Amino acid sequence: MELDYHKILNWPFPEVRHTYTEKDAMLYALSLGFGMDPLHPSQLRFVYEKDLHAVPTMAVVLATPGLWIRHPATGIDWVRTLHAEQSLTLHRPLPAAASVVGRTRVTGISDKGAGKGALVTFETLVSDQLSDEILATVRQSYFCRGNGGYSAQGQPSDQIASVPAAIPPVPPDLICDLPTRADMALLYRLSGDSNALHADPAVAQAAGFARPILHGLATFGVAGHAILRTCCNYEAARLEVINARFSAPVFPGETLRAEIWRRGVEVFFRVRVLERNLVVLDNGYARCRRT
């Protein structure tokens, strides 16, 4: 299957309008484990309507373009495609409820060579529908394992500037262990990603997994929870940027350990599953606004 560079680069994404309520914001937070301690006052502000705050990483599920790479006109072998990187910039705090619009464009396509795959990057600007003020910039990279070598017949290949954050070669300054619920994937999919891989045991087994796996963006959200907890004192407005690379899947019910290095307003992190001692998010970077 040959990837079509020009069709993908100029993919006609429609504007996506999305209205979410306080109930949606609370459901997203609950699906990431906020409120597991119902007496924790700082967590309560994300799951209880009194003075409700939206979890910053909820921006990644707002006004998304959906599974557009499955369209046959792209030429992408979507079955062999992996979510490689995720980046989020918050330009201002997300409202607890709002109507937003998402505008998506492909920003680059890079051929890594025959048998080595191709990288497709795209971004979505999430804006307030009334004011058109940009709330968040969401960037994603997909690693298309079945499309390497597409440029051999003369199609372009972009040089995508993606420099992973370097984890400091010293012990972490902070450790944050967050358990995940056995039903976390079933809860998280209610925020928009209904891929059966995360719910149906038969589908998961056909894909080579013993059981349904957790959404990568749910793991990303738990990492955001860890940064909020350790570096932002649960003040949502302080989280400005969070980026990470996906390195392995998580099974719901496992414990996620965020290893965190603080360097002023900059934060470097990685996340591992304690039960398997396996890094699942790597080269993590965040930036927190000062109080």
Q: 134 an active-site residue?
A: no
Find tokens 């059981």 and name the residue. 211
User: Quick check: helix, strand or coil at residue 160?
Assistant: coil
- Single out the catalytic residue among 108, 148, 216, 284: 216
Neighbour-count burial of 47, counting CB atoms closer than 10 A to its CB (0-12 exposed, 13-18 middle, 19+ buried)? buried
> Which residues, at least 6 apart from 225, have a Cβ–Cβ distance to it below 8 Å?
32, 33, 34, 55, 57, 178
- Is residue 213 among the annotated active site residues? yes
CA distance 38 to 187: 17
Choose the catalytic residue: 193, 215, 225, 284.
193
> What is d(CA 90, CA 96) in angstroms, rounded to the nearest whole number?
14
Catalytic residue among 53, 146, 198, 221, which? 198
DSSP SS3 for 185:
helix
Residue 250: closest CA among 285, 211, 283: 211
C-alpha distances out from residue 278 to 135, 250, 251, 273, 274, Å: 34, 9, 12, 5, 7
Inter-residue contact 219 to 184 (CB < 8 Å): no
Q: Which of 8, 109, 213, 227 is catalytic?
A: 213
Annotation marks residue 198 as catalytic: yes
Cβ atoms 268, 200 nearer than 8 A: no
E strand or H helix at 187: helix 184-188
Active site residue 4: no
Task: Kindly list the distances between the CA atom of residue 16 and the CA atoms of 19, 46, 78, 152, 288, in Å, as whole numbers in the listed order.
Answer: 10, 25, 22, 35, 29
12 vs 188: CA distance, rounded Å: 28
Give me the active site residues, please. Answer: 193, 198, 213, 216
